[in-house]
Structure formats: structure tokens, C-alpha cells
A and B are shown apart, each in its own frame.
Chain A
Amino acid sequence: MQPLVISHYTIVNCLGPGKAATLAALESGRSGLQPCAFEDARLDTCVGQMADAALRPLPDALAEYECRNHRIADLALLQDGFEEAVRAAARRYGAARIGVFLGTSTSGILHTEAAYRRREAETGALPAGFRYATTHNTYALARFVLDRLGLSGPSLVVSTACSSSAKVFGTAARMIEAGFCDAAVVGGADSLCLTTLYGFGSLGLLARGPCRPFDAQRDGISIGEGAAFALLEKPGSHAARACMLLGVGESSDAYHMSAPHPEGAGARLAMARALDSAGLAPGDLDYINLHGTGTKANDISEEQAVYALFGPRTPASSTKGWTGHTLGASGIEEAIIGLLALEHGLIPGSAHTRQLDPAVRLDYAIENRSARIDTVMSNSFGFGGSNCTLILGRPRR
């Protein structure tokens, strides 16, 4: 594919608002996972919850979008000079020439969950003033971001569970290729809700303590929340030193709705397609940010896929022990952690992983390492067998 410049990016999650908070937490070894005290959930698990005090009400003009998911998205847009950068890009390209392609898994379903607890006793009706289209509907996130940033380009929301906000990078590259837009805001947001907490609980996939990716004793995921955005542009002079999106690979497992292929066949195909799309060989990668959710089945499936392509030498880790699994936001959250790794020469370790599963043959980083990183890969695999791999890197010489 034609590489795209990632000219600006921003990230929020339980580690705090902005790139600096995520980087500082990784460098200082501070995980954001805490015992679950979200709403009145009674679940013996940990979550990566954002501080409620940081999630400010939306401006009056955007009140119709008011919900936790959009407060998290709004907080991200306000960090790292991202909003200003997009407004400047809109002056260059025109507001209608910047696409908005976002990913979410559950959007603002928390708002509907609350409304269902306040249904009218006799008729079962939802409370007066309940807003569906601008909160819970899966497309609400794109409408909010279009309005918030004053954009009017082509837009859509990808909702393919945990690969959602990785796949938007592919959509953006194709939309630019087709000429529907000149630049794109890609991103994702997902927020804690009872649907995912009790849903993953029903599948027996919630870790009791904080998640421990690739640990011999791992027992499941810790759900997190967050939002992240990036501005993608065609290569040009104004951002010549920025990192780039080099390749995207997508595949389907065609195996099971909620279990990964045991040998990671779909994951391997996504990685191979990403390498092909970037014109790179496995040996060109300096760091792999694994999907690494911390479930027994997911991690071993991914290990086999990565080992089959890369062998034992490429440094790899999962960062979900720091942030929790931010589900539909995890694709771009971890792509951005990959960019931070590249810019700061940091291979992030794996929080809460104590003893590596002896079946793991990868060069798995439990502790932080310093290294020169030019090219990173980020894996995202979701329910329904939806796989996406991104390759990001410095401009090639």
C-alpha cells in the first residue's frame, strides 16, 4: 500500500490523559488496573477504569451526545494538540475532504443499560429524554467526532469487536486511495459497561486479579476503557519526519464466534498480509505489540501464529497488563503505544506477567528494554474471528 503519514496522534486510558501519561506509566512501571468498583458491578475482577473526575461534561452545544463513551472520546480529542492539528488540516484540505473512520465495540450502551433500569413500570417505556441515535447507536461516535471537529468528510464506524479501531487504518488508506478524501481522522473509543463486564464474565474470561498476558498462571482479561485518535495524511513535506502507517493486513478466522483458531491460522494470515502490504520481511520488524489478552486460549493461539512467521528473535509483548483490554479501542490504543515505543526507544514490558508460560518460544519482554526501533507491528483479534495487523514505522530510506 501507499504509506501514509501519521502526522498527529493522541491517547487516553486508565494510565491518564495524553501521550505523556501513557509513556510515563510504562516507563515507571505503573499499571492502571484496579479491583473493579465500576457502578454497582459485583465481579471479582480488575478493570482499567478512567478517573471519573477526568471525564468532564460535554460542551452545551454537544449535549445531545452526552454519555461516558463520548466524554472519553472528547478528553482524547483535547489532548496533545490534536483538535488544533485537525482544524489546521481542515483549513488546508477543506472540512469535506477529511474522512472520519472510527471503531467501537459497545459505543454508548451504558446509557441504554441505565435507561432499562428506569423503564416505566406499566408500559415498559424508556425514560423520557432518552437519546438513542447520539449515544448508543454504533455510529454515534462518528457523528460526535464530526461535530466536535467541524468536519464533513466521508465517515463510518467499524464495529468488529476487538479489531474495530485497527481496521479503521485500512479503511482510511482505501478511502484516500479511492479519492473520497485527502486525509483522515482515525480512532476508537470504548467505555466500561455492564454488558461487557457481565458478558465476558458469563464466558468465564475475566481474570480474578489483574490480567497476566502470557503468564503460565494467566486466567483471563481485565477490561479497560479509553480512546485514541490519529490524523493520517498522504506523504508530503509538512510532516516529513513523522511516523508512517506502512501496512495493514486483515483476515477472518472462519472458525468460531468467540474462540480463536487453535493454531492461530487467521492471525498468521493477517500478519502475513500486513507484511506483504508493507513490502517488508519478518526480519524487518523491531517490536511486536501482541494482542495478548491474557486468556489461556488467545495467548497460545497468537504465540503459535507469531512464532510460525517470526521465529524466536523479534521482541514482543502485550501491554494489556498496563491499560486493560480496551476492546474496540484497543487496536488504535496499542498502535499508539507502538508509536511511543518507536519514538522513545522503549520496548514496553508486560505488567503483571511474572512467570512466562513455558510454551512461549517468543522473545517476550516481561521487563522494559531500551532499543532502537524503526518498525513495529500491532495485532488485534476480535470475536467473530476478525483479525487485523498494522505495521508502523519511520519513513523508509
Chain B
Amino acid sequence: MTLFVEGVGVLGPGLAGWRSSRAILAGEAPFHPAPFEVPRVDLLPPVERRRTGLPVKLAIWAGQDALAGTDIDSGTLSTVFTSSGGDGDVIHEICSTLACPEREVSPTRFHNSVHNAPAGYWGIATRSSAPSTSLCGHDWSFAAGLLEAAGQIAAGQARVLLIAYDAPYPEPLNSVRTIGAPFACALLLAGSRSAGTLARLALRRGQQGPPTRICDAGLEALRSANPAARALPLLALLAADAAGRVDLEDSCGAVIALESRP
């Protein structure tokens, strides 16, 4: 299965957008995981900027970053959102409320508790009626999202925007599900080569094997803790404009092998 990368977005501690992060990811500049600052998400109206949590902001910001500099109309673009599970802050608030005698769940919090909240806000903001799906794959979410995006392209979709995002959970959930630092990335994928092609990816699911790690210790710590950051070795290849192979793991231990060529 062959895919073409037309855009990349990235957001995490010390990684504030693809353009400014390329040298770091390519190993040409040092990675300084500065404390993460929630960026302003211009796509969301002010009311929604206040109401939505970190996962929504991470996902939408990274998606916009991948489209920056392209002339793709986000209003007609199919999207695949993928993350480990739900919004930890919202789940914590709801479960805490339900443990109190009054059980007064906030309606806004409840509708934000759906796993597809980022996709819903993205659709509203971009006025897109294009198909959109929201996936979860625990530690293997990025690989799951790639397969779904590849499947959409195999089924005839010209372009798909894949957005992977994960934010840490508050205590006490953090102790049972540790995500590390917030991270999101996005890939604008296409089924055929175009003037905007950055790289060609050959993707297949094969035999068991270990996943590809990343040399920099700081980035490797991010990669191994945050499921969306499992994309980092691929982003490093794309940043360096280099040919190479990246192996991602899925929950059955199978390898999703990606061979990248500029």
C-alpha cells in the first residue's frame, strides 16, 4: 500500500509546529523539552476555546499545522482522529461528580466526554461535512490511525488528514495510565504523487518485531510515553528528507512497516 505525504504537523514540549521543529527532529538542532504551553487555537471561536480541553486543542492545532502552506480545502477533507482513549480531564470530572451524592453532571462536560469531541469541533470549525472517524488503540493508536487512513485511500479517497493526539490524565488516573507529556502530530496523506508531495510511504503489516526507536534520549522518552508520539521516528525521517524504514508495533506485536523515500 503506497501513500504520499503532503503535509506534516507536530506539537509537543519543545516542538511548536513542523516548520520550527524540523531541524530538531532531523537531529540537526538540540531538543529542549521546555514546559508545554497550550497554544492558541485560532480555528476555534473564543467561546469554544474556553470550553474545550487540551485534547481538542492539541488535535486541532496539529491538524492546522499539517495544512499550513498547502492549498487544501479543510472543508472537504476526510479526517481520521486517533488517540489512546478519552479525554482524561473530562472523565475525571464526571467520575468524581458521580461519586458525590448529588451526581450533578455538567451537560457541556457530558457532550465533551465523547471520544469524537475533537472531530466534532474540527468539523464545526472547518464547516466540513466530509467523513470523519475517531479511533482508539491504547498504546497502538498511531498505527491504527495509519491503517485506517491507508484504507480510506485504498477505497478511493484522494486525501486524508490523520491526526494523532494524547494528553496526560490527571490523578488518580495518571497513576494507572501514564501518558507523559502532551503530544500531537498530523499527516496529510494522498493516494497519488502531486506537486505537493514531500515523501512516499510504502506501508504493510507484517511479522512480529521490535518498534523503531529514536536516537535522542529526550525524544525517545516522549515517544515511549505518549501513544501519539510513536510517530516520532517517522517524523524524524520526514524531517531529514531521508530514505529509511520505520517499524511501528500494534497490540498483537505485528509490525506496521513504513518505508519512506523523499
Contacts and interface: CB of A to CB of B under 8 A. Distances in A.
B121 interface: yes
Given A155-B251, A180-B205, A195 B94 contact: yes
Contacts of B115: 105, 138, 159-161
A194 B100 CA distance: 12
A198 B176 contact: no
A112 interface: yes
B104 interface: yes
Contacts of A143: 138, 251
Nearest to A161: B114
Interface in A82-112: 96, 105, 109, 112
Give the size category of A's interface with B: 35 or more
A154 B144 CA distance: 8
B133 A171 contact: yes
Interface string B56-67: 000000000000
B218 to A, nearest CB: 26
A251 B95 CA distance: 31
Given A112-B95, A155-B251, A178-B1, A139 B138 contact: yes
B130 A252 contact: yes
Interface in B150-205: 150-155, 171-173, 175-177, 205
A385 B175 contact: no
Interface in B218-256: 250-254
B134 A257 contact: no
A135 B107 CA distance: 25
Interface string A277-318: 000000000000000000000000000000000000000000
Interface stretch (B13-21, B27-35, B36-44, B83-91): B83-91
A133, A161, A257, most chain B CB atoms within 10 A = A257
A157 interface: yes
A245 to B, nearest CB: 13
Contacts of A269: 129
A195 B113 contact: yes
Which of B121, B150, B154, B251 has the most chain A CB atoms inside 10 A of its CB?
A: B251
Contacts of B153: 178
Nearest to A196: B110
A133 B138 contact: yes
A254 B113 contact: no
Contacts of A152: 252-254
B11 interface: no
Interface string B74-101: 0000000000111000010011111100
Contacts, number: 222
Interface residues of B, number: 65
B120 to A, nearest CB: 3
Which applies to chain A's interface (DSSP): helix, strand, loop or mixed?
mixed
A348 interface: no
A175 interface: yes
A132 interface: yes
Contact of B155 (A155, A161, A173): A173
Given A137-B177, A385-B120, A252 B114 contact: no
A383 B114 contact: yes
Contacts of A136: 85
Contact of B144 (A109, A155, A160, A201): A155
Contact of B119 (A154, A177, A255, A386): A386
B228 to A, nearest CB: 14
Contacts of B84: 137, 139
Nearest to A386: B116
Contacts of B253: 152
A202 B103 CA distance: 10
Contacts of B99: 113, 116-117, 119
Nearest to B75: A254
A174 B251 contact: no
Interface string A192-209: 001100111111000000
Contacts of A158: 133-135
A198 B254 CA distance: 40
B105 interface: yes
B95 A386 contact: no
B147 interface: yes
A253 interface: yes
B114 A105 contact: yes
A174 B123 contact: no
28 contacts: A96-B252, A96-B254, A109-B91, A113-B99, A137-B85, A137-B177, A139-B85, A139-B140, A142-B251, A155-B250, A156-B144, A161-B116, A174-B148, A178-B151, A178-B154, A178-B155, A179-B1, A180-B205, A198-B98, A198-B105, A201-B105, A252-B120, A253-B123, A254-B123, A257-B120, A383-B114, A386-B116, A386-B119
Given A136-B85, A139-B137, A251-B130, 6 more contacts: A154-B254, A156-B148, A159-B116, A203-B110, A252-B132, A384-B134
The 8 A-B residue pairs whose C-beta atoms are closest, nearest first, are: A384-B120, A174-B151, A199-B110, A178-B154, A159-B115, A250-B131, A138-B136, A156-B144
